[in-house]
Amino acid sequence: MDSVRVAVRVRAFNQTEKDAGCVCIISLALNRITIWDPRNRRNTKTFTFDLAYWSHSGFVRNEEGILIPDGPTSKYADQRKVFNDLGQELLSNAWQGYNTTLLAYGQTGSGKSYSMIGYGPDKGIIPLTCDELFKTIKQNQEADKQFQIYFSMLEIYNEKVIDLLSKHPGGLRVRENSQRGFYVEDVKLVPCENYNQIEQLMEEGTRKRTIASTNINVTSSRSHMIITVQFKQVFLKDHLTKQSNINLVDLAGSERQKTSGSEGDRLREGTAINLSLTTLGNVISALAEIAMGKRMLHVPYRNSTLTKLLQPALGGNSKTLMIATVSPADICYEETLSTLRYTERTKNIQNKAVINENATERLVQELKAENAKLQLKITKIRNSGKRVEEETAELRRLLAGNELLLVEIQTSWEQRLEKAQKEWKHQFVNLMQERFMIQMFPYLSNVNVDPQLTAFVRHFIQDGESVVGQSGNFPQAIIIRGLGYVETETNFFKKYRGVVGMPSGSFSKNIAEKHATITNQNSKVSLEPHGQARVILNGVLIHTKVKLAHLDRLILGSNSTYLYVGYPSERNNEDLSKYDYDFFQSELAKVEGFDREALGHMGRNNRSVDPSVLAVLYDYIRVKPMVVEANQISGDLHKDFSFDLEVKNLALTDSRGSDLTKEVMVKVTNKVTDQIWVWSKAKFVNRKFIMEDVYQRFVDGQNISEDRENDPFWDPIEAVHLGSAYVWLQSLSYCIVLEEHVEFRNSQGKEEAILQMNLVPCNPSGQPLGEKEILIDPTELVGHRLDFQVQITRCLGIKWLKENIKRGIQISYRVLNHPYLFHSEPVWNTVNAKVDHTMQFAVKCVSQELLNYLQNHALVLDLWGLQEGCEEMVFPGNFEVTDKGSIIIDYVGSQLLSNKDEDKGDEQFSELYIKLSKLEQETDLLRNINRTLRNDNVMLQTAINKMSDGRE
Ligand code: ADP
Ligand code: MG
């Protein structure tokens, strides 16, 4: 039995994390990793793995451009160090004839591809391992021993298997037979003689992957890549073959969408995109439990393509390693923790690897015998006269497969190499040609959201005019295929039935047939967009001809991103990797007025302490292009929905006036009915993937079901949160009646409506208290009963209804810390609503704590927008009530202040407490000023209104 061996690698901060001033929340000692919660340092977790690598700090770039430790005391683990452990272990397994697998697991951007493949001179485990393999072979040449190496490269996306080394588009089939288990049919296995060939194949495969992923820019993080190096040692004298499959798997990004309660999307399971990774998790969990002694659990290998292909690696005939990659940044805490937990589970899995040794002769004999049997069966069936077409077809297929295998076995290594050589030559010519062009012409170099797929596609700009677009029907064309779809209307109808309200005219296209023209005259390059085509240069939308300068950034259509590289004479050996996808998107966001400076005022100081603000910025930059694409997909599919990205809680605070966590959200509008939905980021991202899936099927010419259940655009109509208003409770503690005019402000800080409401202290039967009962000293209230009414009278100037009068509103609020939400009755079809809501509350005995609460907190009222077809909001009402009908509030104070015996650091605590009270006093002062100003404001407003009324 061999346990799966697991390693964890902690990468350096990326640019975004550095910019955001992120804090490292991981420490590493030998093979133990400790991680702490950025919001509570005392909450730490420690994990132990077989190997752990610190690649976060203590490094320099040497003269070859490789990252290495910056001194003898540095604990930095460079690529070589990781290879020396993991790569060498793979090789040692392979030489002994074991199958061996290395899986890279982690969140997108955590360093899976860096570790497996590497970037530029920082070569990863796969290249270093292949290089080493060929070196060792050279040293071990013997007369009667032959070494054979075959290379294959597959991608699994959305359950389809794509051969990255084959010219054919389309997928391959996964089959199963008793001897081989699951296997991929017709995989291209390229025989290789040296390391350079492998390097070239990897480049070719990556290029194919890049081109596939430019259709929809995000697929690579959702696809798995499997590289297999088949290593055979043939002992010619003994007719024996020792064979090892070295599987190297760069898994899809492990990030999960939040699925808690209300965040859970009804369409979560509706897509296959997540299936492989989810199933992998289930398989690992089942195997881990079996290893811990649970009996005979079902292991769901068959549920996904990935797990079928990885069956030997997980609990089967393979020696398996896993490298989990993590970011140590505070903003990645949740994902990193979940990766560490996952990895911990994986290390329990037990495998049974055996040495794969085969006598070639025997294999040939076996295959021949089996074929004879198959032939016999077929003859029998035929003679029986029955028409069993299907059965014979299946037998024939098996027969043909075996014949092929026989031919394969009997084809000599030399013959195969010879065949491969021909292809090599062809590719070599292409490669040389591209190198030549790079030195001759300026070009557009692709920039993908996945840096591993960046700079793989180059469009050279030759002299004269070139037309950039979807179509190749121009003498000099630069063909760019983005999202967007060129089709005739008739075909559209054929494919996409059941479209209601089909607009006439042409569709919106992302990349137009003729999108822009690039002119190269006397070595001066300029670009001119066509018609309404979207062209963004360095973050700015352009409509007229512009000159291109070296390192200009171009976004064509919704999301085809290119870096312009000028003539060789303009190049200065710059580091092009600086211009990554985030660079493009930040630049765009900045022009749109959304950047760190804009958000900066919310940070406490220059470092912008608040990580949530920076997380929001990061989310914004990442989600924005997806929103653009969603709009594009919606347009192409003739859906009536538009999507807008907004930052929620930009201006909302809790009942103490502290900022709430900020997050991005997507506002969805049905442009025909005006109905509005608000989606969380998680829900949007999930829906976007399903939209891509639908879109892909549409482009592939399949019918798309109009089934609501699986429609990513459809959702039941709900009430929309429009904004919040705050009414300070302090007046209650003085038993003063408060008549308030306050604004409902939305998350952008803009006014949504004016609320008129009263907070009225009263006696138990509801009679308002008079002037005489006003308290000079609120502490008199302690120990006594307090009755008060919340009266909502009007809601005026409601923007939601100005936009569309068919709508309605409802107001909800929470009183003190009563668990239930109270609410007004809905009012429909009026901009100025008479609400008429009165509710009476009773506190049987006011405590000092409650008094403090009243002094420092506000009543938060939420304004909800009702729309056609939506249910009015019903809130659970199961309250304790006095005989007079008041709702009883049993105020239970906050745990922090009442838990006296728990905290031992008393002094520290009381010091903090003093600071806190001081801050509270200061806040109170500001709050009072604020309130006076606000009242003045209302008065002025009333005065102005009166004046203008008078004038009329
Ligand atoms: P993944 O494949 O997990 O999505 P990548 O391997 O592409 O992530 O890494 C994302 C970025 O982080 C790349 O720009 C890469 O160069 C950088 N990176 C990842 N790991 C390291 C590391 N150990 N040291 C330095 N840079 C790293
Ligand atoms: Mg990657």
Interacting residues of 365 by C-beta distance below 8 A, sequence separation 6+: none
* DSSP label of 780: G
Q: Say if residues 533 and 486 touch (Cβ distance below 8 Å).
A: no
The pLDDT of 929-936, averaged and rounded, is 71
Q: Whose CA is nearest to atom 1 of ligand 1?
A: 109
- Check whether 271 has a pLDDT greater than 80: no
CA of residue 555 to ligand 1 center, whole Å: 24
pLDDT score for 765: 87
> Which of 768, 837, 832 shows the shortest CA–CA distance to 799?
832
- pLDDT tens-digit series, residues 151-167: 999 999 888 899 999 98
The pLDDT of 19-36, averaged and rounded, is 91
pLDDT score for 911: 61
Q: Which residue has the higher pLDDT, 636 or 441?
A: 441
The pLDDT of 222-242, averaged and rounded, is 91
pLDDT score for 904: 44
* DSSP label of 253: P
CA of residue 220 to ligand 1 center, whole Å: 14
Q: Which ligand is nearest to the CA of 18?
A: 1
Q: Which ligand is nearest to the CA of 112?
A: 1
Q: What burial class does residue 132 get, using C-beta atoms within 10 Å of its C-beta: 0-12 exposed, 13-18 middle, 19+ buried?
A: middle
Q: Whose CA is nearest to atom 23 of ligand 1?
A: 11
- Three-state SS for 933? helix
Q: Say if residues 612 and 21 touch (Cβ distance below 8 Å).
A: no
CA of residue 700 to ligand 2 center, whole Å: 26
pLDDT score for 128: 98
Q: Which ligand is nearest to the CA of 105?
A: 1
Q: What burial class does residue 415 get, using C-beta atoms within 10 Å of its C-beta: 0-12 exposed, 13-18 middle, 19+ buried?
A: exposed
Band (pLDDT 50/70/90 cuts) for residue 217 is: very low
d(CA 879, CA 895): 23
Q: Say if residues 245 and 99 touch (Cβ distance below 8 Å).
A: yes
- Token pair, residue 64, equals 């070859």
Mean pLDDT lowest among 388-397, 450-459, 737-746: 388-397
Q: Whose CA is nearest to atom 14 of ligand 1?
A: 451
- pLDDT tens-digit series, residues 634-653: 888 888 899 999 887 766 66
Q: Which residue has the higher pLDDT, 342 or 380?
A: 342
d(CA 731, CA 737): 7
Q: Whose CA is nearest to atom 25 of ligand 1?
A: 12
Ligand 1 environment, Cβ below 6 A:
11-12, 14, 55, 106, 108-114, 119, 253, 325, 451-452
Show the DSSP H helices in 639-729 as ranges: 681-699
Interacting residues of 930 by C-beta distance below 8 A, sequence separation 6+: none
CA of residue 351 to ligand 1 center, whole Å: 30
Q: Which residue has the higher pLDDT, 610 or 112?
A: 112
- For all residues of the chain together, what is the average pLDDT? 84
Which ligand 1 atom is nearest residue 221's CA? Answer: 4
- Residue from 8, 10, 11 to probe ligand 1 pocket by mutation (most atoms less than 8 Å from CB): 11
User: Cα-flanking dihedrals φ and ψ of residue 162, to 5°?
Assistant: -115, 130
d(CA 240, CA 509): 59
Which ligand 1 atom is nearest residue 14's CA? Answer: 12
Q: Whose CA is nearest to atom 22 of ligand 1?
A: 11
Task: Give the pTM.
Answer: 0.79
CA of residue 327 to ligand 1 center, whole Å: 9
pLDDT score for 257: 52
pLDDT score for 80: 97
CA of residue 57 to ligand 1 center, whole Å: 14
- Three-state SS for 154? strand
- Check whether 908 has a pLDDT greater than 80: no
CA of residue 114 to ligand 1 center, whole Å: 5
- pLDDT tens-digit series, residues 54-101: 999 999 999 999 999 999 999 999 999 999 999 999 999 999 999 999
- Check whether 362 has a pLDDT greater than 80: no
Band (pLDDT 50/70/90 cuts) for residue 595 is: low
Look at phi and psi of residue 587 and say left if phi exceeds 0, alpha if psi is from -120 to 50, else beta: alpha
Residue 693's Cα: distance from chain center in Å?
16
Which whole-number Å values give the CA distances from 527 to 472, 521, 544, 551, 684, in the listed order? 18, 11, 8, 14, 35
Band (pLDDT 50/70/90 cuts) for residue 492 is: very low
- Check whether 701 has a pLDDT greater than 80: no
Band (pLDDT 50/70/90 cuts) for residue 949 is: low
CA of residue 248 to ligand 1 center, whole Å: 17
Band (pLDDT 50/70/90 cuts) for residue 191 is: very high
pLDDT score for 657: 66
Q: Whose CA is nearest to atom 10 of ligand 1?
A: 109
pLDDT score for 651: 63
Q: Say if residues 165 and 202 touch (Cβ distance below 8 Å).
A: no
Report residues near ion ligand 2: CB below 5 Å. Answer: 112-113, 452
Which whole-number Å values give the CA distances from 55 to 44, 60, 108, in the listed order? 21, 11, 17
Q: Whose CA is nearest to atom 18 of ligand 1?
A: 111
Q: What burial class does residue 205 get, using C-beta atoms within 10 Å of its C-beta: 0-12 exposed, 13-18 middle, 19+ buried?
A: buried
pLDDT score for 738: 93
> Which of 86, 67, 81, 112 shows the shortest CA–CA distance to 5?
86
CA of residue 113 to ligand 1 center, whole Å: 7
- Residue from 114, 126, 213, 450 to probe ligand 1 pocket by mutation (most atoms less than 8 Å from CB): 114
Q: Which residue has the higher pLDDT, 489 or 409?
A: 409
Residue 59 pairs in a beta bridge with 69
- Check whether 325 has a pLDDT greater than 80: yes
Q: Transcribe 880-921 into DSSP letters.
A: -B-TTSPEE------HHHH-TTT-S-HHHHHHHHHHHHHHHH
Q: Transcribe 797-843 into DSSP letters.
A: S-HHHHH-TT-EEEEEEE-TT-SSEEEPPPEES-SSEEEEEEEEEEE
The pLDDT of 336-360, averaged and rounded, is 91
Band (pLDDT 50/70/90 cuts) for residue 261 is: very low
- Token pair, residue 356, equals 């794969």
Q: What burial class does residue 654 get, using C-beta atoms within 10 Å of its C-beta: 0-12 exposed, 13-18 middle, 19+ buried?
A: middle
Neighbours of 806 (CB within 10 A): 12
The pLDDT of 180-188, averaged and rounded, is 89
Residue 98 pairs in a beta bridge with none
Residue 7 pairs in a beta bridge with 51, 323
Radius of gyration in angstroms for the set of CA atoms belonging to the chain, rounded to a whole number: 34
Using a pLDDT cut of 70, give the percent of the chain over it: 84
Which ligand 1 atom is nearest residue 104's CA? Answer: 3
- Check whether 498 has a pLDDT greater than 80: no
> Which of 868, 788, 767, 874 shows the shortest CA–CA distance to 824?
874
Which ligand 1 atom is nearest residue 114's CA? Answer: 6
Which ligand 1 atom is nearest residue 108's CA? Answer: 4
d(CA 858, CA 934): 15
Q: Which ligand is nearest to the CA of 8?
A: 1
- Check whether 292 has a pLDDT greater than 70: yes
**Highest mean pLDDT: which of 298-307, 623-632, 865-874?**
298-307
